[in-house]
Structure 1
Amino acid sequence: MLHRILKIHPNDNVLVALTDLKKGETVTYDGADVVLTDDIQAKHKFAQVPLAQGDRIIMYGSLVGKAVYDIPAGGVLTIHNVKHQVSGFQGKTQSTGWNVPDVSRWKDKTFMGYHRADGQVGTGNYWLVIPLVFCENRNVDIIKQAFLDELGFGQRDVYKSYVQQMVELYQSGNTEAIETLTLQRTEHATKKRIFDNIDGIKFLTHEGGCGGIRQDSDTLCALLAGYINNPNVAGATVLSLGCQNAQVHILEDAIKKINPAFSKPLYVLEQQKEGTETELLSQAIRKTFLGLVEADKQTRQTAPLSKLVVGLECGGSDGFSGISANPAIGHTSDLVVALGGKSVLSEFPELCGVEQDLINRCVTNEIADRFVHLMRSYARAAEAVGSGFDMNPSPGNIRDGLITDAIKSAGAAKKGGTSPIQDVLDYPEYITKDGLNLLCTPGNDVESTTALAGSGCNIILFTTGLGTPTGNPVTPVIKVASNTKLAERMPDIIDVDTGAVIAGEKTIEEMGEDILDFIIEVASGNTQTKAQLLGQDDFIPWKRGVSL
């Protein structure tokens, strides 16, 4: 039976509408009647009890705002009558226990992955072509054009074919038929693949490497080092101009820092040393082809689930995200951790207001203190440019019920489940510790997913309530919908529908278990994510400084 309202935490003083409710209706929770004084759209919140001006708004058991003026019981919460407010935080004040979930069902399960010499296991086998500076983007694009179709990695351009059909109709004088011409989308490669054991060649063009502060160039090199070291990557070709801030030795030092025993094939070419563009490109193409020949010798082998490194991300969130999709992947994270794997919670601006809970989950005071330092430093940096975490919710978030950053954050933090926090990393540090890790990234969807892959994630879970077409070049991104309407409206981007939680058909735990089973299929190469099928290879490094 579909419930119409929900109280997320016993201490909350607001209720969530699970379906559209009309002004004047009476709803009952825990034996108490509330007469609605406004129309309440599904996903939005309303006061369970009268709230006076200045009263605290409690949701998820946390302070998420204060009343700007009196709100009657049954009154809808909006950006006009509620203001962002959160509790303060300090160092670790107590230790938090953890009820370890039962993982006996997966104890003997494995996935089929690519074993690397350093002990990491990939869920894919990709070759990278990377520019160290934006000046090399054109050369990278030329290599891309040369390789994709000839090696069978290119896809037929259905939109180009669509325009060609229109041209033919126009030239035949049948312009009227264009009005009803429909696009027939069929996915198939332009040619048969040459290499059976390579999942793709990925080209990570970007706008960095020079012109900004040195820290941004150093950070870019560290991010690219993380991608090269990612277990889903077999090897890489790097193009350098020569005079840019992001020097080759900085990249090489960053790789050694991550992995002193790094042994993957890595080909670095510098245009100002090679001479002509033709010489540079011919060498790059030749070396890359020979690298692909070697990479194709690797095959999938069984691997324990402890080799999973799962990134936890959200984008285009709605008022249901913190109720269904986010806690569902939070339970998946707990299962992965209990199995000896790693999970990574990112997006620090979307942890605003729940810091103390996360601090108390840190396993040591030192790790807790680092989280405090990173959160406060990030907040100060935002305020220095006239912004702040309170400005995080997007128009889409607000429209669908996330009216303050604190409400958004309280739901977003559910992606991290309940397990202890083993480490706190700054961008773009690489993951080394088993268990749950926190990674400092922006709330920007692509910048954050880019960071997760750069820190070593071999799978990313991405929840969305509004629909976000985001993927990653090397790490499969599993898109998890918070509601069934979205999953039915945008089936081309959604992999998993958690709307059954809202409908009362499945528990959070059951949904999280289903997601783990789906991860195993994707990690084994048996199932491609929708983002992979659409070729969504989004890559945006986080630029923290100014341009000079």
Structure 2
Amino acid sequence: MTKATPIILNPSDTIAILPSGARAGDDPLQLGAPLSVNIMPGHKIARVAHKSGDAILKFGEKIGVATEDITPGAHVHSHNCAFSDHDQSYQIGCDLDTARAAVPKVSPRSFMGYKRRNGQVGTRNFIALCATVNCSATVIRQAAAELNASGILEQYAHVDGVVGLTHSTGCGMSSMRDFGLLERVLWGYATHPNVGATIFVGLGCEMMQVARMKEIFQAEGQKTNLDHFHSLAIQEVGGTRKTIEAIKAKVLDLLPEVDKARREPCPASALKIALQCGGSDGFSGITANPALGKTADLLAGLGATAILSETPEIYGAEQLLLRRAASQEVADKLIAQIKWWEHYVEINNGSLDNNPSPGNKAGGLTTILEKSLGATAKSGSTPLTAVYDYGEQVTEPGFVYMDTPGYDPVCATGQIAGGAHMVVFTTGRGSAFGSKPAPTIKVATNDRLFEAMPDDMDINCGDILSAGISLDAKGAEILDLILAVASGEPTKSELLGLGDHEFIPWQVGAVM
């Protein structure tokens, strides 16, 4: 990245961001205060003097307080800026009229997708092998590996593959919440519109019984895209090897029927897109995240859905969402989730400021308040129409929120279980992430990362700074790629084969 003018995001900001860094002796703000140390790209320097205890402002919002006196032009980071309490006197719905006016008027668009018989629309066509318990993980993974390596799938051009959805729980759960979360995730994946057929595989004696999933099917089967309920239990089949062979035989029986699916024109309004960020840096809240926010606005204009998540990583910025909540009920649900997280980390002797990670801090992010403000930029400007629990089925169009942890695989698992057709994932440090059956689009926040990891990154947002590309233009570029991927174009993570190990349901309670 070439030398660039310091960035001031809001006139009230007390810091500026150095897009290309600076060397000791430089005076980036021309304040007559040369730097005493080298500063990496994406880091902050003070625009004004701060006394110890003064608020430090970025995006026009408080990101922390000075822990010592800071002179104008000095580096502002973890050594002199710390997390502090944030304002929770929420002004619910005060920006709702502005948010409604922000929904753009756009012409209808379409993509080539799979129309399921229950009215859902898919962007991929997988066969899913779904574990009810960790004990069935090995037979599932082995069966999936043998099927994918056999070459048999090459005979079925309209099947995207066999994905093994395994996890580390299903027994030893200490609470009904854990049981309910796992059940919701398993069912959400089994009936996902990107899945043409599902086989549940259990051991036989676990807490999360295959029979329980069958009961759900009998109650809800008519609302799903599954023709029949398929299941196997290792103890009933006769052991590990026999179960592997039984899974493979069942898949071979299902392949001809699943392969009958054909892509056809589908309205873009059917799409549900998960918004995700990981390996963030000081550019995330300046380039990729606000550009994705423009895409979220376009999705709302199309009648589609954009799903923001990661409650620990909106902490401190939740007021920006509550100001555009569509109703008191929507706001109350988000506030309840925030309060739950405050209690959850307290009883586990933690802190919501255990984030940012070391990599985030190396990239210029100092506190969770700063990271959250940048992460929330992915949400765009339109009304917050609904708030969902983890893995809950997303039904409302527009911009919605889902309660999840900030850990990327667990977060994306909840979003996909809720019906997300794909994940758009921004990153500044670089993240080797993919997902199945919903693919991941990777968006780089800076030119350096895009050039360093070309096999992983689908879109570069570094040119927003280096080439003056507008946020609106970049948001439209991301939308174009979403529609292309929805029509079958593979993402970089798909070409790399990522996604088989990122299925991680959230386990909240103690393991017993």
TM norm structure 1: 0.88
Provide the rounded CA distance (Å) in 2 between the counterparts of 1:103 and 1:200: 38
Alpha carbons 1:315, 1:463 under 8 Å: kept: yes
5 Å matches for 1:458-497? Answer: 458-497=421-460
* Residue identity opposite 1:208 in structure 2: T
Deviation per CA, 1:415-434: give whole Å up to 9, x if none.
11111111111112110111
Tell me the equivalent position of 1:268.
231
5+ residue gaps, structure 2:
none
In the TM superposition, what is the alpha-carbon distance from 1:6 to its structure 2 partner? Answer: 0.5
Alpha carbons 2:391, 2:413 under 8 Å: kept: no
Alpha carbons 1:321, 1:463 under 8 Å: kept: yes
Divergent runs of 4+, >6 A:
256-259
Tell me the equivalent position of 1:42.
41
Tell me the equivalent position of 2:57.
58
* Residue identity opposite 1:21 in structure 2: A
Tell me the equivalent position of 1:539.
503
In the TM superposition, what is the alpha-carbon distance from 1:286 to its structure 2 partner? Answer: 2.5
CA RMSD in angstroms, aligned pairs only: 1.9
Tell me the equivalent position of 1:388.
351
Alpha carbons 2:275, 2:425 under 8 Å: kept: yes
Tell me the equivalent position of 1:210.
171
Tell me the equivalent position of 1:501.
464
In the TM superposition, what is the alpha-carbon distance from 1:194 to its structure 2 partner? Answer: 1.0
Tell me the equivalent position of 2:183.
221
Tell me the equivalent position of 2:158.
197
State the secondary structure of the residue aligned to 1:5: coil
Alpha carbons 1:222, 1:251 under 8 Å: kept: no
5 Å matches for 1:98-109? Answer: 98=99, 99-100=101-102, 102-104=104-106, 107-109=107-109
Deviation per CA, 1:6-36: give whole Å up to 9, x if none.
01112211100011223443344xxx84634
In the TM superposition, what is the alpha-carbon distance from 1:41 to its structure 2 partner? Answer: 2.1
Provide the rounded CA distance (Å) in 1 between the counterparts of 2:375 and 2:218: 34
Match of 1:341 among 304, 310, 317: 304
In the TM superposition, what is the alpha-carbon distance from 1:250 to its structure 2 partner? Answer: 3.6
Deviation per CA, 1:58-95: give whole Å up to 9, x if none.
11111110000100000111212111124232455343
Alpha carbons 1:34, 1:48 under 8 Å: kept: no
Tell me the equivalent position of 1:19.
20
Provide the rounded CA distance (Å) in 2 between the counterparts of 1:48 and 1:267: 63
In the TM superposition, what is the alpha-carbon distance from 1:241 to its structure 2 partner? Answer: 1.4
1:427 and 1:102, CA in 2 relative to 1: closer, same or farther beyond 3 A? closer
Alpha carbons 1:86, 1:406 under 8 Å: kept: no
Tell me the equivalent position of 2:200.
238
TM norm structure 2: 0.94
* Residue identity opposite 1:540 in structure 2: I
Alpha carbons 1:331, 1:417 under 8 Å: kept: yes
Instruction: Figure out how many residues of one structure are paired with residues of the other and give that number.
Output: 503
- The yes-or-no answer on 1:428 pairing with 2:386 is no
Provide the rounded CA distance (Å) in 2 between the counterparts of 1:328 and 1:270: 47
State the secondary structure of the residue aligned to 1:251: helix
Deviation per CA, 1:343-388: give whole Å up to 9, x if none.
1001110101111121121101011001000111012111211111
* Residue identity opposite 2:171 in structure 1: C
* Residue identity opposite 2:121 in structure 1: V
State the secondary structure of the residue aligned to 2:340: helix
- The yes-or-no answer on 1:6 pairing with 2:4 is no
Q: Identity over the aligned pairs, expressed in percent?
A: 33
In the TM superposition, what is the alpha-carbon distance from 1:524 to its structure 2 partner? Answer: 0.5
5 Å matches for 1:504-543? Answer: 504-525=467-488, 527-537=489-499, 538-543=502-507
Alpha carbons 1:90, 1:372 under 8 Å: kept: no
Provide the rounded CA distance (Å) in 2 between the counterparts of 1:317 and 1:258: 40
Alpha carbons 1:367, 1:423 under 8 Å: kept: yes
Tell me the equivalent position of 2:361.
398
Match of 1:409 among 348, 369, 372: 372
Alpha carbons 2:130, 2:190 under 8 Å: kept: no
State the secondary structure of the residue aligned to 1:69: coil
Alpha carbons 1:91, 1:365 under 8 Å: kept: no
Alpha carbons 1:92, 1:365 under 8 Å: kept: no
Provide the rounded CA distance (Å) in 2 between the counterparts of 1:513 and 1:62: 28
In the TM superposition, what is the alpha-carbon distance from 1:42 to its structure 2 partner? Answer: 1.3
- The yes-or-no answer on 1:146 pairing with 2:142 is no
Alpha carbons 2:276, 2:412 under 8 Å: kept: yes
* Residue identity opposite 1:351 in structure 2: I
1:255 and 1:484, CA in 2 relative to 1: closer, same or farther beyond 3 A? farther
Provide the rounded CA distance (Å) in 2 between the counterparts of 1:427 and 1:225: 13
Alpha carbons 2:93, 2:327 under 8 Å: kept: no
In the TM superposition, what is the alpha-carbon distance from 1:520 to its structure 2 partner? Answer: 1.1
* Residue identity opposite 1:207 in structure 2: S
Structure 1 residues 496-505 or 252-261, which shifts more?
252-261
* Residue identity opposite 2:495 in structure 1: L
5 Å matches for 1:112-191? Answer: 112-152=112-152
Alpha carbons 2:103, 2:382 under 8 Å: kept: no
Structure 1 residues 68-77 or 261-270, which shifts more?
261-270
Alpha carbons 1:67, 1:81 under 8 Å: kept: yes
State the secondary structure of the residue aligned to 1:114: strand
Provide the rounded CA distance (Å) in 2 between the counterparts of 1:363 and 1:145: 46
State the secondary structure of the residue aligned to 2:399: strand
1:124 and 1:459, CA in 2 relative to 1: closer, same or farther beyond 3 A? same
Deviation per CA, 1:476-532: give whole Å up to 9, x if none.
10000000100101111101000011224201111111111111111101x211110
1:93 and 1:351, CA in 2 relative to 1: closer, same or farther beyond 3 A? same
In the TM superposition, what is the alpha-carbon distance from 1:109 to its structure 2 partner? Answer: 2.7
Tell me the equivalent position of 2:78.
79
Alpha carbons 2:31, 2:72 under 8 Å: kept: no
Alpha carbons 2:3, 2:20 under 8 Å: kept: no
In the TM superposition, what is the alpha-carbon distance from 1:278 to its structure 2 partner? Answer: 5.4
5+ residue gaps, structure 1:
154-192
Alpha carbons 2:109, 2:302 under 8 Å: kept: no
Provide the rounded CA distance (Å) in 1 between the counterparts of 2:337 and 2:52: 33
Provide the rounded CA distance (Å) in 2 between the counterparts of 1:255 and 1:416: 34
* Residue identity opposite 1:87 in structure 2: H
In the TM superposition, what is the alpha-carbon distance from 1:118 to its structure 2 partner? Answer: 2.1
Tell me the equivalent position of 1:70.
69
